[in-house]
Chain A
Amino acid sequence: MTTAPTGPPGTTPADEGVVQVQGLTKHFGAVAAVQDLSFTVRPGRVTGFLGPNGAGKTTTLRMLLGLVRPTSGTATVSGRAYGDLARPMSTVGAALEAASFHPGRSALDHLRTYAPSIGAPDSRCAEVLALVGLEGAARRRVGGFSLGMRQRLALATTLLGDPKVLLLDEPANGLDPEGIVWLRGLLRHLASQGRTVLVSSHMLSEVQQTVDDVIIIARGRLVHASPIAELASLAVPTVTVASPDEAGLDALVAANGWERTAEAGAPGTSVVTLRGTSAAAVGSAAFAAGLELHELASRSVGLEDVFLHLVQEPGTPGPTTTGGAP
């Protein structure tokens, strides 16, 4: 899909709520934090922006928000650079780190300091506090807040301007399991209202149940962008097989050309994990060869393993089940 870069006067309805990153590059001195990154984030969906720590996620978000100047390339929201938006925080709500509070200010006062710039009425401050479940802590100083409460307050700040687009950097950090379930519901709800929701994380498993699309970057470059269902199709199942006849099992694997990815075993038992085959095929071949089997199990590779494989340094082994329970 090609989207013509549009300047301030030419914003078309098609751009509304679309986050567009095009050839974005940022060098900090000799370090290339982001290199030629392009992706599109669409409204009505929750998009996971994934990559290991240091992959360039925060730098990309900061360029989208006009805080960091790109070395080259463009980053726009609804067709405009952040600084060109008339009331930016009523278009884009962004939470970059949970530490961005003055510890001596109360939660309500924190919101009240930003409300005028955002163009939100003061009554909205209490509304968003209730929305994130902090109404009881409105008058408490932020210095005494837990990390989870800070995350909620950061989220409340992003919602002040009732924005069409939400950019959230690691919003699940510091939330307890109950908080994560709550966040998941809120993000789904916001997307269902037609908003664009981009959530960064260094762990796929953290957002796996929330996101519709994934954008995966590593070392400042895009490595994968698709709906999450397509990511799942990259998972290759493995078969674990155990036999007391070590030589016989080795011969069977060699004869069929199966890829061995893990070895285990106790004295008298050999256990190997095979890739690119099925339990049925292994079982049938073992039966034909008269090989005694003590275990035969098919294991699916988790999405997290696919993710790790995608973001690994080139030249490292592929995704495998590494022992443990399926």
Chain B
Amino acid sequence: MIAALRSEYRKIVTTRTWWVLLLAMLAYMSFLAATFAFAMTQGGAMGGPGTQGLGHSPTSAISVYTIAVAFGYVFPVIVGALSVTGEFRHQTITPTLLAEPRRTTLVGAKLLAAVPVGVLYGVLGTAAGVGVGAGVLALTDHATYLDDPEVLVAVGRSVLALAVWAVVGVGLGLAMPNQVAVIVVVLAFTQFVEPILRFALAFVADGALAGVGAYLPGAAGEAITGSSFYSQMGAGELLAWWQGLLVLVGYALVFAALGRVTTLRRDIT
């Protein structure tokens, strides 16, 4: 297992994909953190009726610092997914299974190999949010709340959430080994379907379904940090952080198991 893990880890870090996507994530997160930190200093001017707005508070500071968990998780997901779909796209699944014919071991190695990569995305993606966000707050003479333990814990959990997202990506890639399909599905779901679903679930049926939205993967990821733009803007409640963690890990394992009994059950021709 250790040997398979080392092989899988090397596969991820020996192509350009991981750092190209990482740079894209850092640029995007820096831009968003700057934008939202600035909005935060405008004293809730963005908030409409029925929302709490973006006041200057530790809670909204957390939302800025953990912006990667709300908007940037798609990057570790895609890196994780590509670690599987690339094998099918370039037919390297053949030598991979020759080197490691135990397919369940391979699934485990791929899931675990995504962890260090996810941690890297988590550390740097969160650092971009914190660095740029706190920088904007400091430049505009607002408190950064970086000495608030609650804020620091949330920042730490942001790294955890993003690392788990990379593992979810591996699961998705196993369940859906077509590279184009998985990228389209990931982008469509994370950027469009889930946000709409979360707002819709919060408002339909007098909020009776609001609890369901908390179990969607994006909401579970945000629950790990405990605060987010979506929840701040009234898109339903979040789970406790550990519940969110379990739900997100659950998604990764369910997808991976699905991939094990479909994709990796088939003949490799």
Interface residues of A (CB under 8 A from B): 59, 62, 65-69, 82-83, 85, 88-89, 92, 94, 96-97, 99-106, 109-110, 112-119, 157
B residues sitting closer than 8 Å to A (CB atoms) are: 3-4, 6-7, 10-11, 14-17, 86, 90-92, 94-102, 267-269
In the complex the two chains form, is A104's CB within 8 Å of B15's CB?
A: yes
A237 to B14, CA, bound (A): 58
Residues in B with CB closer than 8 Å to A118 are 99
- Which residues of A lie under 8 Å from residue B96 when comparing CB positions? 114, 117
Distance in angstroms from A167 CB to nearest chain B CB is: 10
The CA-CA distance from A88 to B164 in the complex, in Å, is: 32
Which of B11, B17, B99, B268 has the most chain A CB atoms closer than 10 A to its own CB? B99
State whether A99 and B99 are in contact (beta carbons under 8 Å apart), knowing that A106-B14, A117-B3 are contacts in the complex.
no
Total A-B contacts with CB atoms under 8 angstroms apart: 83
Residue in B86, B95, B100 with the greatest tally of chain A CB atoms within 10 Å: B95
Asked if A82 and B101 sit within 8 Å, CB to CB, the answer is yes
A97 to chain B: which residues have CB within 8 Å? Answer: 91, 94
Q: A62-B267, A68-B268 are in contact. List 9 more A-B contacts (CB 8 A).
A: A65-B101, A66-B97, A68-B269, A101-B90, A102-B92, A105-B14, A117-B96, A117-B99, A118-B99
Interface of A is mostly: mixed
With known contacts A105-B14, A113-B10, A113-B11, A157–B95 Cβ distance under 8 A: yes
Contact status A96-B94, CB under 8 Å:
yes
- Chain A nearest Cβ from B135, distance in angstroms: 35
Q: Which of B16, B91, B95, B100 contacts A104 (CB 8 A)?
A: B16
Provide 17 A-B residue pairs closer than 8 Å at the C-beta atoms, listed in order of the A residue.
Answer: A62-B268, A67-B97, A68-B267, A82-B101, A85-B101, A100-B90, A100-B95, A102-B90, A104-B17, A105-B14, A109-B10, A112-B10, A113-B11, A113-B14, A116-B4, A116-B10, A118-B99
Contacts of B14 in A (CB 8 A): 102, 105-106, 109-110, 112-113
